[in-house]
Structure 1
Amino acid sequence: MTNSRVMASSKDTPKFSYIARQPILNSERVTIGYELLFRDGPNNSFPEVDPEKATSQLLSDHFLSTHYHTLGGKLGFVNFPYDSLVNMIPTSFPTNSLVIEVLETCAPSVELLTSIRQMHKQGYKIALDDFIPSKEWKAFLPYVSVIKFDLRQTSIDHAKRFMLSTKQFNIEFLAEKIETYEEFQQAKAAGFTLFQGYFFARPEILQHQSLDPSFLTVIQLCQEVAKDQLDYPALEAIITRDLSMSYKLLSFVNASASVSSKIQNFKQAIIYLGEHRLRRFISIVAVASAQEAKPHALYTLSIQRARFCELLWQSAKKRDHTLEQGAAFLTGMFSLLDSLLDQPLENILLQMPIDVSIKSALLQREGLLGDILNLAISYEEADWTNVATLSHNLAIQHSDVIGSYDEAIQWADVLMDMNL
């Protein structure tokens, strides 16, 4: 019998994701946001990596999974390279928590101006990073919310003259590389209202368990989104068999807009996103998942339990007709997220736009879905007394429970074999 908390084998070394964040403060030294910086390990330095890859990895690891843990409700300042900006990648993410930083390496082209204007119109805050004043950037100023001056490159007096010349624009000015109390006071007197630097805090490394989609899942999804007409049933089938992709999809739906707790299955999430955002979501995850991460025993169990719960739901004579079949599958799949992410399940579910009945099942084991999940776990743990009680309450024949478990094992084995 499969244990409900299968340990990963010794060769399945946990993979961690690293993000550095440095606080951005106002004049009263109150933190209003963080600049998020990509890291590929615990060393607090930017690695030798392609900027597009770094941005995709940061977005995938942050906005698609640990959004609240990283920001705590504050703004996230994220650097975007030129190609990401002109392709409107930032518009996949929430306007209320993202500040789009235009890297100093970006050329002030007509193409870039068009994208900045469109993102501003959609409600995004635009920041110019490490800004050096020039006439080429003048056309951008009506659409910019924040301009960041690096005080190691631009003197406070030079920045002050520029700020005085742009009073007609609604722009906040941020002083970077503040290293002393005197510099902080001088920058405030010059008109800066936002501040960042070692005087306040050095970048802090955040580490969390990384949950990567399988290589096969990424390839299959890329093949599907490359088609002119999306096959939604095919997309749903691919996503539902990969825990990481499922988790990131629902987190992405939650980050894309204000969503009430109503999602009961992955089909609803896919349709809610729409074709444009779905293609972008898959592209971001694909770029961030450049290497294969083979599933371990917990992945297998999550898939197996999802199918087991789905089959038990089908067999139950007592059924809540307000729920769809996918709700039981989702309940089983997400019941192991705490083990996979090393976080309390309650914290994880705060970020998930799933139906309240699913959350109740996962956290309190309440309702029909809670009974089904309890039955599945009891059977896995060979708790036959509880199995008999729950089977009776759900009006499921004992033979159906056995058959459902055997079918779920076979189904999971086939899927895991495909992912090797």
Structure 2
Amino acid sequence: MTSPTTPGLSLTPPPPGNQSSVAMIARQAIVNAQQVVVGYELFNRSRSGAAHTAATDVILVFTALSHAGTEELVGKKLIFVNCTHESLSGGHLELVDPDKVVLEIPPLGHAAAEEVATRMPILAGLRERGFHLAFNHTVLQSAYAPWLPLADYIKLDLSVLAPDQLAVLISYAGRHSQAELIAEKVETAQQYDMVSSQGVQMFQGYWFARPSLVEAKLLAPSQASIIELINQVRKQASTDDIEETLKKDAGLAFNLMRLINSAGFGLSREVTSFRQAVMLMGLKKLFRWAALLLTASRAGGTPSSVGQTAVVRGRLMELLALETLPPEEADQAFVVGIFSLLDVMLSMPMESALGLLNVPEPVAAALLRREGFLGDLLTLAEACESSDDAVFDRTAGLLHLTSQQINFAHLQALAWADHLGD
């Protein structure tokens, strides 16, 4: 297996920065004839947003799927995203479930026949992989005839097409393609009546919904942790080593579990452990995910004190769980510890934070109500931090752990967390 590489990727950690960031994303609904939302077109509306490039296409989808806010950006609806031709050959598209994504393909500035032919293998390959392709009305011109069979959707812009042009294009598309037609920039009832009476079944525009702004919150890992992960994958490190790196950064762990369990990733079963996530994703996808995360986390840095506390908790609870449980069950103790401060890191109630992730019931019970064996372990870990002797003694007794066992495990956890950058 060849080690993956990313040209021009700097593997030197940048200066420290903040742990969390917010991107402004606009989404506009696309509805069917019954005015049921079938998908959302996404737009980058961050003030710091750069010009539309290959990188921004991918980061927009990535942000939508990794979004850490209480409101789902896209849920199980289709994601329509504007693309550049440069972004279409990027391996980052392998990180999403093709069936959930509609790639809006721009026309070529001057459609020379050879340029249209040159793009064909990439477009056909995307379609074969399961991506939906959307084009604007120019795909109905003779110069783009090779592309037309690939069209799942054709967008008709009512702001630039006259009624007589629309009638001709709708009729031609119906005879020569299998694409569904989407009337966009629909702003009046008259426009809606005109295109729907001619057979158009999907609509987008102010008449139905204006673009709504959503603050897409991201829990940004430290860039040093991302770089460590990238280097490990390039060296084809073991699953154990990669799992250890994920466990050292709460933001890294959260992002991976959030993405891999999102509807956009397309898995049919829930992933509840880091080991599962690593094995299911594989080195190639893991590398691309980490490289994209590095690009998206404009302001990364060393983990905050809250993140550091979460890491220590996770390791302490894992070590104590190993006194009585097999390793695969002790992993749940680590998950409880590292996610026990998600409410603080995301500035939302724990119940809302857990709603972003798929965690086993014992993990949820421990985090929300301090119930069960894992709940007792978390209570004990918190007592170690607060030096609450009464709670420490009570929970240590419940767990049948001695002070010596707990103190030794706590020292080991602190030492382990201190070596994050080693």
User: CA-to-partner distance for each residue in 1:106-153, whole Å, 9 max, x for gaps?
Assistant: 886445432332332333322225745333432223332211122223
Instruction: Tell me what 2:6 maps to.
Output: none
Q: How does 1:297-376 map to 2 (within 5 A)?
A: 297-315=305-323, 317=324, 319=325, 321=326, 323-376=328-381
User: CA-to-partner distance for each residue in 1:191-231, whole Å, 9 max, x for gaps?
Assistant: 3221112233321111143311212123223333444x454
User: CA-to-partner distance for each residue in 1:313-357, whole Å, 9 max, x for gaps?
Assistant: 123x4x3x4843322222211111122122333344344344443
Q: CA RMSD in A?
A: 2.9
**Which AA in structure 1 matches 2:179?**
I
What SS does the aligned partner of 1:139 have? coil
Runs of at least 5 residues in structure 1 that lack an aligned partner in the other structure? 1-10
Q: How does 1:163-178 map to 2 (within 5 A)?
A: 163-167=170-174, 169-178=177-186
Identity within the alignment, %: 27
Instruction: Tell me what 2:395 maps to.
Output: 390
Question: How many residues are aligned here?
Answer: 398
1:25 maps onto 2:31 in alignment: yes
> What is the CA–CA distance in structure 2 between the aligned matches of 1:260 and 1:390, rounded to whole Å?
35
**Which AA in structure 2 matches 1:401?**
I
User: CA-to-partner distance for each residue in 1:40-62, whole Å, 9 max, x for gaps?
Assistant: 24xxxx94335223223322321
**Which AA in structure 2 matches 1:393?**
L
Instruction: Tell me what 1:271 maps to.
Output: 279
CA distance 1:262–1:59, shift in 2 (3 Å): closer
What SS does the aligned partner of 1:324 have? helix
Runs of at least 5 residues in structure 2 that lack an aligned partner in the other structure? 1-16
CA distance 1:149–1:89, shift in 2 (3 Å): farther
> What is the CA–CA distance in structure 2 between the aligned matches of 1:13 and 1:290, rounded to whole Å?
10
CA distance 1:172–1:185, shift in 2 (3 Å): same
CA distance 1:84–1:66, shift in 2 (3 Å): farther
What SS does the aligned partner of 2:50 have? coil
> What is the CA–CA distance in structure 1 between the aligned matches of 2:59 and 2:42, rounded to whole Å?
12
Report if aligned partners of 2:185, 2:205 keep a CA contact under 8 Å in 1.
yes
Shift of 1:362: 2.4
TM-score norm. by structure 2 comes to: 0.84
**Which AA in structure 2 matches 1:115?**
I
Instruction: Tell me what 2:9 maps to.
Output: none
**Which AA in structure 2 matches 1:121?**
E
1:100 maps onto 2:134 in alignment: no
**Which AA in structure 2 matches 1:376?**
A
Instruction: Tell me what 2:214 maps to.
Output: 206
CA distance 1:13–1:408, shift in 2 (3 Å): closer
What SS does the aligned partner of 1:32 have? strand
The partner residue of 1:141 within 148, 157, 160 is: 148
Instruction: Tell me what 1:62 maps to.
Output: 64
CA distance 1:36–1:50, shift in 2 (3 Å): closer
**Which AA in structure 1 matches 2:58?**
S
The partner residue of 1:217 within 213, 225, 232 is: 225
What SS does the aligned partner of 1:206 have? strand
**Which AA in structure 1 matches 2:147?**
F
> What is the CA–CA distance in structure 2 between the aligned matches of 1:99 and 1:377, rounded to whole Å?
46
> What is the CA–CA distance in structure 2 between the aligned matches of 1:105 and 1:362, rounded to whole Å?
53
Q: Which range is displaced more, 246-255 or 59-68?
A: 59-68
**Which AA in structure 1 matches 2:76?**
G
1:89 maps onto 2:92 in alignment: yes
**Which AA in structure 2 matches 1:127?**
A
What SS does the aligned partner of 1:101 have? strand
